[in-house]
Structure 1
Amino acid sequence: MNSSSSLTNDLIMEILSRLPSKSVARFRCVSKRWASMFASPYFKELFVTRSSAKPRLLFAMAGNVTEEDDYVWSFFSTPQLENPYEKSSPTLVAAAEFHVKFSPEKLQIYHSYDPRYFSIGYASGLIYIYGCRYQGRPVICNPNTGRYAILPDRYTYRKAYSFFGFDPIDKHYKVLSMRYSCGPGHNKILTLGDGDLTWRKIKISPERPEIESDGICINGVLYFLAVGVELKFEYVIVCFDVRSETFTYIGVERFCRLINYKGKLAVIYWEDDEDIYEICFYGKDLDDYWEENLDAINELRVWVLEDLEKQKWSKYAYTWTDDKFFRRHLSIAGATASGEIVFSMRKYTSKQPFYVFYFNPERNTLQRVEIQGFGEAFKKTCTVCTFVNHVEDLDVNDLKQLKSVHPPLVKSEYYESSDSESD
């Protein structure tokens, strides 16, 4: 540090732009000169550029830490494998890095697979979590630091939907809250910027779409699947421009999931998704279905939206058989910048292997990667939500409204394994 005066500002910024955001935050305390440099738009842009070149998989894990039902969220990440097929091993290994344990003011945000009762979203470095159980307060969290903001309470029917998006022009995050199609209340929106956290009413036509999916934000547009919006199609993709707060619609022929495929909206589905959806809709058990279809070929369909105005799609179909790929235990995490589609296990059990799968559509190849380092943070089986292309952003750390900091995790308190280290 004493010799730092002999280094130019450009060289210091070039060196420190390669460090984690937590380290940069600590180095701001070295001097006023360093604090000024690291707060500059140039350095923040340089840091994001470096971080974007090293995207990570982000794991949001929810479960009981203790036998006394202490329900918390924990965040981990691991380097994202952009070219996993160059290796010859049938199973690769990646180490998970622990970031923070998150249980804001005992809100008890329980995970559910039903989007009417639970929402989780990722946008430009922040996580949004909302659960209707108990207090039901929405929370926005920085998964790298644990800083968070509890959003203002608002009246909703017990079934509600909410989505999280980012406007890359004005650099504002927004939460879109949609009332249940058969419930009272209003559709509302909240902006996380430099102003106050307040809900505003927002109009959508028609006002009561039946929502069928989580949301995904791509280049400032938030997409989610719905039914009952237009008569021409049974299903439509609702497109919400985060900056202008306007709605448009894209018709699709069937139930599907939405992903960001190389910067474009894509829909992805298994050939038998509608059969599974119908079974779940009528509250039936899927076990019988899976038992009857253990040897079924995995038939994956991917449609990429090439032209939004003309609603022109490029459609692809892939089939493979692989005895190590169990669809019933997996969720679709998304696609990497190079086009690999990532599947992740839905649950983690201590001392049991946890896998993610990288599928390359161009090569029609599948690579399994074992994630190690989760340790024994949870006493029971926990739920895992996986997000692709996670990058660190210093602007996220500097958001004024993320003021609360959860007490730091004491490693010996919850971790018996030495696989992961807290900062």
Structure 2
Amino acid sequence: MKRVKRSKKRDERNDDVNDPFIIIPTELKVEILMKLPPRSIARLRFASKHLSSIILGKEFTELYMTRSSTQPRHLVSVHRGSDMQLFHSFSQEEHPSASNDHDKVSYTLDPDVRYVFTPPVRGLICGRNGIKMMIGNPSTGQFVSLPRVKTRKKDILSIFGYDPVNDVYKVLCLTVITRRGNIARGIISRDYFLEDVMAWEAVMSEEHQVITLGAKQKWRMIKCKYPHRHYSGYHGICRDGALYYLTSYKQKRSLMCFDLSSEEFNVTKLPDDYSLQEFGNLVNHSGKITIAVQAYDGPIDLWVQDDVNKEVWSKTASVVPSMNEIFGGDQRFMFRGILPSGEVIFKPLPSPNPFFFICYDPKEKKVRQVEVDGIRDDSAAIQVYFDHVESCMVL
């Protein structure tokens, strides 16, 4: 008996008749969706073919991103034990109200190991544990695994970024290899090496790999003509289609730039300032490439790159007179960055219970404490990001 094939066009017509959203004008559907939080939008793509076509479309995703960019948020990552990872997102406004602040996002990740996350880029965040990596959208609660990094090395720096030229997201991974040949040639004595005091000449970022997010994503080895060593434990940042991170180049702390479009490296010399060379760290500062220098609990100096194409830096006055003068000597604080409003952010060390961070206005000399609801665990590992925007992008 010959099987009768159903008409695909007929099925589509039936779906259109049963779709209650088809009678709503597209402009109104977009307007409604724009008022919803990302998690609700991600769920609604299953409710209707017409809604799905809008939600998954590039035009709507960019429209939502444009709106979100005017409403930056705080993003807090909390790791408890080995089986719980929470993300909290909330408005940067001093007194957020229900009318301008979505419900706080709390998403529970269930990995078998802890992931360390890089700063968010256009609403997405990248996590790594060893050679395992994942990309996530904390606003929708979606997390997907990436192919494992092709290396056997343990010292890895990963930086996440967006290439606006090709409209793609990329991850750069650097791994370190010790040049033991230097030991054999007597450049470094064995005792010197065994004491775990590593000379910069002996340690280099040897493997450079890039992955482009997409359907056929895989790691690709790339070349770098600048022998350098990245600093373990430091984060890189993404600005205007390039990744920046601090490195040791020719025995000097320098700024490395990786262009995401051309996939080429470039190195920038930093001022020959002792404190900058010893304590400098990249920070968020309203889109400017800025290195903050904080020696112990003293004042904080900012070195701002005036021209990304030239080695021109300007040093601003200390953003605070001293940590002890503002907060007293009972609590230690770590400088984390500067908001577009000019407020300076400090994170307490160790993490307090309940958890909070400090916003300091240097012009008004005003201090306000921001407490994060639901974080009351002394054993939790907490990371705070201050340049997060909501994205409805479906992974």
Contact 1:189 1:202 in 2 (8 A): yes
Q: Say which SS state the counterpart of residue 358 (structure 1) adopts.
A: strand
Q: CA deviation at 1:5?
A: 6.3
Indicate how the Cα distance of structure 1 residues 313 and 366 shifts in structure 2: closer, same or farther if over 3 A, else same: farther
1:189 CA displacement: 2.0
Name 2:124's counterpart in structure 1.
126
User: Quick check: 2:257–2:266 contact (8 Å CA) kept in 1?
Assistant: yes
1:139 partner letter: M
Residue 51 of structure 1 pairs with residue 68 of structure 2:
yes
**Equivalence for 1:267:** 291
Give the match for residue 15 of structure 2: none
Q: Residue type of the partner of 1:202?
A: I
**Residue segments in structure 1 that go unaligned for 5+ positions in a row:** 65-69, 85-93, 112-118, 274-295, 400-423
- The range that moved more, 123-132 or 95-104, is 95-104
Helix, strand or coil at the partner of 1:322: helix
Q: What is the aligned counterpart of 2:56 among 21, 31, 39? A: 39
Are 2:109 and 1:102 aligned? yes
1:224 aligns with 2:245: yes
Following TM superposition, by how much is the alpha carbon of 1:188 offset from its aligned partner in structure 2, in angstroms?
Answer: 2.9
Query: Deviation string for 1:257-279 (max 9, x for gaps)?
Result: 11232221111121x25xxxxxx
Q: Could you say which structure has the larger radius of gyration?
A: 2
Whether 1:322 aligns to 2:326 is: yes
Question: Which of residues 176, 197, 201 in structure 2 aligns to 1:180?
Answer: 176
Matched AA of 1:357: I
User: Paired residue for 1:73, among 78, 81, 85?
Assistant: 85
In the alignment, residue 55 of structure 1 is paired with which amino acid?
A: P
Amino acid at match of 2:152: T
Alignment of 1:193-212 (within 5 A): 193-211=213-231
Give the distance between the partners of 1:4 and 1:262, measured in 2 at CA.
41
- For the 8 Å contact 1:121–1:129, the answer to whether it is kept is no
Name the residue aligned to 1:116: none
- How many residue pairs align between the two structures? 338
Secondary structure in 2 aligned to 1:141?
A: strand
Aligned match of 2:164 in 165, 168, 176?
A: 168
TM-score, normalised to structure 2, is 0.75
Verify: 1:308 aligned to 2:308, yes or no: yes
Letter of the 1:387 counterpart:
Y
What's the secondary structure of 2:289's corresponding residue? strand
2 CA distance for matches of 1:365 and 1:168? 38
**Local SS of the residue matching 1:310:** coil
Q: Which residue of 1 aligns with 2:345?
A: 342
Structure 2, unaligned runs of 5 or more? 1-17, 96-100, 181-204
1:60 correspondence with 2:77: yes
What TM-score results when the alignment is normalised by the length of structure 1?
0.71
Q: Check conservation: 2:21, 2:51, Cα contact below 8 A.
A: no
Distance apart, 1:103 and its partner CA: 2.5
Q: 1:343 to 1:182 in 2, by over 3 A?
A: same
Q: Distance in 2 between matches of 1:367 and 1:194?
A: 42
Percent identity, please.
Answer: 26
On the 8 A contact 1:334/1:341 being kept in 2, the answer is yes
**Which amino acid in the other structure matches residue 258 of structure 2?**
F
- Whose RCO is larger (CA < 8 A, sep 6+)? 1
Match of 2:26 among 2, 5, 9: 9
